[in-house]
């Protein structure tokens, strides 16, 4: 059973192959994501991971790790605050902020963080999700 304040962290990175595969699946072939020569000419200087590919980490966490099997994803908002790059380490953090036991719903804050950014950690994605889980949100 989960309670407000419970959290889960997952360390992850993205490969260029994952970005290329996401581009092929979604049809988002913006050269900013898949063409290193083009990306060098942008303010980012290198390819940027699609925001929704990076944000999909929350689906992975909720469906398989925290709360895990049986989770129904009801809602997600995300704000893309900083670029995300391939072959760089990030940390996803989800934290229960509210539970409605009558509806078996939980509100969860969602962050994707670049811990290596100094002097402060950089928040790349921030958002909120609402989940349903019959045994964890009681």
Alpha carbons 80 and 73: distance in angstroms, whole number: 20
Q: Is residue 1 part of a domain?
A: no
Reduced to 3 states, what is the DSSP secondary structure of residue 73?
strand
3-state helix, strand, coil in the chain (%, to 5): 25, 35, 40
What pLDDT does residue 17 have? 97
Sequence-distant (6+) residues with CB within 8 A of 34 are: 19, 20, 23, 47
Q: Tell whether 93 is covered by a domain.
A: yes
Asked if the structure places residue 138 within a domain, the reply is no
The mean predicted confidence, pLDDT, of the chain is 95
For position 101, which CATH number holds? 3.10.129.10
The per-residue pLDDT for range 23-74, each reduced to its tens digit, is 999 999 999 999 999 999 999 999 999 999 999 999 999 999 999 999 999 9
| Residue 99 and residue 137 in contact, taking contact as beta carbons nearer than 8 Å | yes
Task: State which H helix or E strand residue 32 sits in.
Answer: helix 31-34
The pTM score is 0.92
pLDDT, tens only, 113-136: 998 765 677 999 999 999 999 999
Q: What is the rounded distance in angstroms from the CA atom of residue 116 to the CA atom of residue 120?
A: 8
Looking at residue 117, its pLDDT comes to 64
Give yes or no for residue 108 having a pLDDT over 70.
Answer: yes
Total domain count for the chain? 1
Residue 2 domain flag: no
Domain that holds residue 79: 7-132
């Amino acid at each position: 059973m989960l309670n407000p304040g419970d959290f889960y962290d997952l360390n992850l990175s993205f490969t260029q192959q994952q970005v290329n595969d996401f581009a092929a699946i979604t049809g988002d072939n913006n050269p900013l994501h898949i063409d290193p020569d083009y990306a060098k000419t942008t303010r980012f200087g290198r390819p940027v991971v699609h925001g929704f590919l990076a944000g999909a980490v929350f689906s992975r966490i909720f469906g398989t790790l925290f709360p895990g099997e049986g989770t129904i994803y009801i809602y997600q908002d995300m704000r893309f605050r900083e670029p995300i790059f391939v072959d760089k380490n990030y940390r996803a953090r989800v934290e229960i902020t509210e539970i409605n036991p009558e509806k078996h719903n939980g509100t969860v804050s969602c962050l994707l963080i670049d811990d290596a950014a100094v002097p402060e950690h950089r928040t790349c994605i921030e958002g909120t999700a609402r989940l349903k889980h019959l045994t964890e949100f009681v």
